[in-house]
Amino acid sequence: MNVAPKTLRHLSDLSEAGLVTAENHAALDRVAAQYAVAITPAMAELIDRNDPNDPIGRQFVPDPAELDIRSEESPDPIGDFAHSPLGGIVHRYPDRVLLKLTHVCTVYCRFCFRREMIGPDAKPLTPRQIDAAFAYIAAHPEIWEVVLTGGDPLVLAARRLKQAVSCLAAIEHVKVIRVHSRVPVADPRRITPELVRALKAKGKATYVVLHANHARELTDAARNACARLIDAGIPMLSQSVLLAGVNDDPQSLGALMRALVECRIKPYYLHHADLAPGTSHMRTSIQDGQELMKALRGRLSGLCQPAYVLDIPGGHGKSPIGPNYLVCDDAGGYRVEDFNGGQHCYPPPK
């Protein structure tokens, strides 16, 4: 009898799979004791065991560098707590809220900005807390959009997702339901017809935002999972994190954006990596990020251009931080830079 591959959750699993070496075990024990570990079979299969800097492995395999905590890093780097009026709700922007139904993910990214809050040991919301979260949304008519996040909402059973979507559908002023997930690439088998049906609600617009950081994550199985959502009428966007050694060169980043568009997924956000504890080895500089965005501009289709954003520490929200192509000149007009670096006056001289 064939035994289905299992999710790797312990250092012994990672050792057996050839993903960690014995020499790092002491440090990795400390990392695993502090931050959750899980690598699905779909992701483990993509990791090149012969490349210590494999871009898929860098995202999921624990690293002793995670023990290096910098003074500027924070357990809550984007200020969720400052905007959480009750359990499961983050209300940072006027017209939308985050609804965190679960604190569990199929895979645990080593750069996660919520790494201190999620994992199998995180305390789940009680039924009373879930009811209170829906009541909060119903009591705030300014809430136009609800973003299901976590954790990863698509780890939930289709039955539970349907219940949540039905509760939101019953709230007249909620018009948009957005689901943020890594599941279509991390565990494509979970995107079943039943789960797809659970995400849809009559009279509401449902969007799924896929988290993917490297083109190799978009395997045939992942593409098929995304197609099941899109063919059912659920538009997909993407969010990616700019990561050192993963996608911080024009070729890798461009290949990812093109692969997403080929899957009918519109690139939405490229996040500058947050100041989460123990993640400095995965962060680039903002200047490097701006140069990468300039490298994409004009050379890749406009469909492939995400917004490069920084989530301002302290809970002040996202701001675009891409390169600026427009400056004022001394004559009261502007100088505009084209994608080849040429400078042009606007309006043009007579």
Q: Which among 35, 105, 110, 182 is annotated as catalytic?
A: 105
DSSP string for 150-168 = SS-GGGS-HHHHHHHHHHH
Identify whether 112 is a catalytic site residue.
Answer: yes
Q: Which among 35, 58, 110, 112 is annotated as catalytic?
A: 112
Q: Which among 35, 54, 76, 96 is annotated as catalytic?
A: 96
Give the integer Cα–Cα distance in Å for 122 and 158: 22
Q: Which among 92, 100, 178, 216 is annotated as catalytic?
A: 92
Of the candidates 238, 166, 151, which has an alpha carbon nearest to the alpha carbon of residue 198? 166
In the chain, the amino acid numbered 96 is R
Identify whether 346 is a catalytic site residue.
Answer: no
Output phi, psi for 16, to 5 deg: -60, -35
Identify whether 105 is a catalytic site residue.
Answer: yes
Q: Which among 93, 268, 325, 334 is annotated as catalytic?
A: 93
CA dist list (Å): 115 to 36, 74, 211, 224, 277? 8, 11, 16, 29, 8
Helix boundaries (H) for the chain = 11-16, 25-34, 41-44, 55-60, 127-138, 158-169, 183-186, 193-198, 220-231, 250-262, 286-296
Q: Which among 35, 100, 108, 109 is annotated as catalytic?
A: 109
Residues sharing a CB contact under 8 Å with residue 32, sequence separation 6 or more, in sequence order: 10, 11, 62
Identify whether 58 is a catalytic site residue.
Answer: no
Cα Rg, the chain, nearest whole Å: 21
Q: Which among 114, 115, 182, 283 is annotated as catalytic?
A: 114
Identify whether 109 is a catalytic site residue.
Answer: yes
Q: Which among 136, 162, 274, 308 is annotated as catalytic?
A: 274
Identify whether 311 is a catalytic site residue.
Answer: yes
Active-site amino acid positions: 92-93, 96, 105, 109, 112, 114, 274, 311, 318
